[in-house]
Amino acid sequence: MSAMTARAGDAHQTAVEEAMRAALDELRRAGDVRYAEVRFVSETTEKLRVRDGRPEQVATLRTRGVAIRVLGDKAWGFACSPELDEAGVVGAARRALAVARASGRVAHAPVLFPPREGAVGAYATRIEIDPFSVPLEDKLALLDAPVRALLASGKPVQSAEAWMEWTRVDKRLLTTEGTDTTQRFTYGACGMHVIAVDAAGVAQKRSYPTWQGCEGFQGGFERIAELDLTGHVDRLRSEAIQLLTAPPCPEAPRDLLLESSQVALQIHESCGHPAELDRALGAEISLAGGSFLQPKMLGKLEYGAKIVDLVADATTQGGMGTFGWDDEGTPAGKRPLIERGRFVDYLSSRESAAALARESTGTMRADGWSRPPLIRMVNVSLEPRSGSLEDLVADTKDGVLMATDKSWSIDDLRLNFQFSCEIAWEIKNGKRTRMLRDPFYTGVTPAFWRSCDAICGPEEWHLWGINSCGKGDPMQVMQVGHGAAAARFKNVTIGNAGHA
């Protein structure tokens, strides 16, 4: 009995497995199929949102189906089916093969796809408390309490919101190479924000634990208690109100300190995405763009300062980018992308790695059962160095500390970026002084990372999780992780959105 059947323990799952194997058998018999994978995905998501004392969203989303990717003589074909009986799954296999054959008619060269030995095994997120076993009313109460507390003092607080999201993904992958993996993931996210509005209608927002969309993790309900939303209400509300009268962030080159979650966003946009080999080779032009990190730069380009080590690690405990195997059967691993500042590797797939005569780094993942896998970030993290954030502030003569991302934009090669934050503080002679509003900073990726002269230590390092990284066309969203500690960058162009 397989792992999937053993866990689910019902005839339905056995029937699905039989249908998947029937589809693979049919594809094996086709004669022109070099490789095929059949991937079953079942996903349940619970979305809870309390805004201004009332439930804004109480929703459960369930989806399940089978994805089939076929490599014919020359080209790929992909099809999917929500029908899980043999007719549905085998029918999808036939459609995928028809698509591969149609595309193959106009292919100039066959897709490079080196074979590999099949992988067999199981992976599951380690959890202590299953979030789907916690009563709904308890979860809503945990969100309602901080929202009411944020609103309690009235104006200028205009709106407050708290949210919680849980996703359970069961995935089974069978391939013509003999891969048979079963994986169960449990993802969570929880946070809150408050909006204050002054008499002129100008609004300021503060969020906790960071900007919505970066607070995710892989784990159970035990992670919620660690957040202590209510314990951060007073600070959050106070900061939102103070921002209404704070001076704007000055416009001048300054030493820039970024708190941990902002460093995570910086990694995501200016290291993670450009290190995706499909982008670099030109496979993602139709939405995302290319990459300045071109193959000829591998091992040569000085991407950042020598203190900058960025690692792609799909094995980090609790990361949103952690798994057992990717969606083409490559096992999770840990590899440096930037080593002592030098660009040394890509996030890759079997096909893209073969184009460079390299091995896949195991990063192919798909959003659900109705999309083919793409190269996606795993946990791309900045290795910590030493010291606390307060040590870093004390070591800064004239700078600005920015926290909590507010907007993000970067060019199609991932060079020129501009990110704005919810809040900043001026640093003078080693001390945080006044609060600054509407801050943004802008730069060019390699110059920015080369200007990094300090990275805080393990005590400031946090593994953040982005649960909505967008890529592909049609768009796919994916969970990815970024570990980071606060860091300092020299002589960065900063400004304020109010001046634009």
Partner 1 sequence: VTGSELLALCKDALRAAGEAEVEICARSRHRGVARVAIGELSQHMDLVEPQAIVRVAHGSRVAEVATSVLDRETLLACIADAARAARLVPKTEGFEGFSGDHPGGDEPCRYAASTASADAEERVDRLAPLLASIRAAGLVSAGYLETSTASVAVATTRGCARAHDSTMATYKVWALETPGAGGAAGYGGHLHKDVGALRLAEETDRAIRIAKMSRNPASLDAGVYDVVMEPPAVSELLEWLATITFGAPEVEQGTSALAGRIGDLITGEHVDIVEDPLDPSDLGFGAPFDREGTWRRKVSLIERGRAKGILYDRTYAARMKSRSTGSAILPEFGVAGVGTTCCQLAGGDASSVDELVRGMDRGLYVCRLHYVNGLLEPRRAVMTGLTRDGCFLVEKGKIVRPVGNLRFTDSFLEGLARCDGMTKERAAIPTWWSDAGACVAPAIRMRGFLFNGRSQQQPEELGGERGR
Residues 211 to 270 in contact with partner 1, rule: CB under 8 A: none
Beta bridge partners of 36: 70
Q: Could you tell me what percentage of the chain is helix, strand and coil, using 3-state DSSP and rounding each to the nearest 5?
A: 25, 40, 35
Q: Which stretch binds partner 1 (CB under 8 A): 125-133, 219-227, 310-318, 439-447?
A: 439-447
Q: Rounded to the nearest whole angstrom, what is the least distance from the CB of residue 182 to partner 1 in the complex?
A: 21
| 283 binds partner 1, rule: CB under 8 A | yes
- C-beta separation of 324 from 332 below 8 A: yes
| 150 binds partner 1, rule: CB under 8 A | no
Closest CA to 413 of 285, 248, 225: 285
Helix (H), strand (E) at residue 88: helix 86-104
Residue 319, Cβ density class (10 Å: 0-12 exposed, 13-18 middle, ≥19 buried): buried
Q: Residue 5 or residue 420: which is nearer to partner 1 going by CB?
A: 420
Closest CA to 67 of 328, 375, 371: 371
| 140 binds partner 1, rule: CB under 8 A | yes
Closest CA to 399 of 425, 369, 368: 425
Strand order in the sheet with 334-339: 342-343, 334-339, 310-313, 380-382
Site for partner 1 in 1-20 (CB under 8 A): none
Calpha distance 367→357 (Å, rounded): 27
DSSP annotation of 340: T
Q: Which stretch binds partner 1 (CB under 8 A): 14-22, 125-133, 388-396, 445-453?
A: 445-453
Q: Which stretch binds partner 1 (CB under 8 A): 117-125, 220-228, 231-239, 294-302?
A: 294-302
Q: How many CA atoms lie within 13 A of 381 on its CB side?
A: 27
**Site size for partner 1 (CB under 8 A):** 99
Q: Which stretch binds partner 1 (CB under 8 A): 15-23, 52-60, 124-132, 232-240?
A: 52-60
Among 6, 59, 112, 252, binds partner 1 (CB under 8 A): 59
The amino acid present at 91, given as its one-letter code, is G
Q: Rounded to the nearest whole angstrom, what is the least distance from the CB of residue 353 to partner 1 in the complex?
A: 15
> DSSP 3-state assignment of 436?
strand
Whether the bond into 474 is cis, omega within 30 of 0: yes
Q: Residue 49 or residue 316: which is nearer to partner 1 going by CB?
A: 49
String of contacts with partner 1 for each residue 299-338, x by CB under 8 A: -xxx------------------------------------
Q: Which stretch binds partner 1 (CB under 8 A): 27-35, 183-191, 319-327, 367-375?
A: 367-375
Distance of CA 460 to the CA centre of its chain: 20
| 451 binds partner 1, rule: CB under 8 A | no
| 154 binds partner 1, rule: CB under 8 A | no
Site for partner 1 in 61-80 (CB under 8 A): 61-65, 75-80
Q: Rounded to the nearest whole angstrom, what is the least distance from the CB of residue 85 to partner 1 in the complex?
A: 12
Q: Which stretch binds partner 1 (CB under 8 A): 2-10, 31-39, 90-98, 324-332?
A: 90-98
